[in-house]
Amino acid sequence: MRRWSCVIGFIAAFVCSLFYLLKKFRFIIFKGIIIGLAILLTVLTYARNNAWKDNITLWKDAVSKYPQNARAYINLSGAYAGKGQFNDAITVLQKAITIDPRNKFAHFDLARCYQQSGKPDKAIKECMIALQIDPKNIESYILLASLYMREGDTRKALFYHQRFQEQSVPDTRRSP
């Protein structure tokens, strides 16, 4: 409140001046103010709408405003991945991991991008990191099972599929 208390005098002076000018020059100044405000707000709206034209520009804008926000980088990577730009998504996710190394979503999304880019070894490594962070991350188990199945390692694929089932089905047994 103290910050704004010094402005009250300026606001009162501005309002009094505005009423004086409106009385003296009537509607000429009023029309000029309204038209000027309309033009200013139109330009500001147009500039802001540029950031919202697609997901990539929206999240680039967020990253530029909040460069230490890992979530903004993760969402930007999702926009890149959605357009098939996996190399850009990988670069952005690596930045998110630099900011927040224990972010399971960044590691899992990076694993998916590596998978889509044909880099299964890197995808497996990132899934393992995601599981170290959150051992109940069922998406990582599913992705690992899929990766190992594609690699032809059915033993590991079955192991991670079973781990997925253990995590996704609640234990309903009663203890004696």
Domain borders along the chain are: 2-51, 55-168
CATH architecture of 55-168: Alpha Horseshoe (1.25)
Q: Which of 143, 136, 144 is nearest to 169 (CA)?
A: 136
pTM of the model: 0.72
**Residues 62-106: tens digit of each pLDDT:** 999 999 999 999 999 999 999 999 999 999 999 999 999 999 999
Q: Per-block average pLDDT, block size 10, for the chain (176 residues)? A: 60 74 68 75 78 85 94 97 96 97 96 96 96 93 94 92 81 50
Composition of the chain by helix, strand, coil, percent to 5 = 80, 0, 20
CA–CA separation, 94 and 147 (whole Å): 21
Neighbours of 97 (CB within 10 A): 20
Sequence-ordered list of residues with C-beta below 8 angstroms from that of 114, at least 6 positions apart, any chain? 90, 120, 122, 123, 126
- Rounded to whole angstroms, how far apart are CA atoms 107 and 109? 6
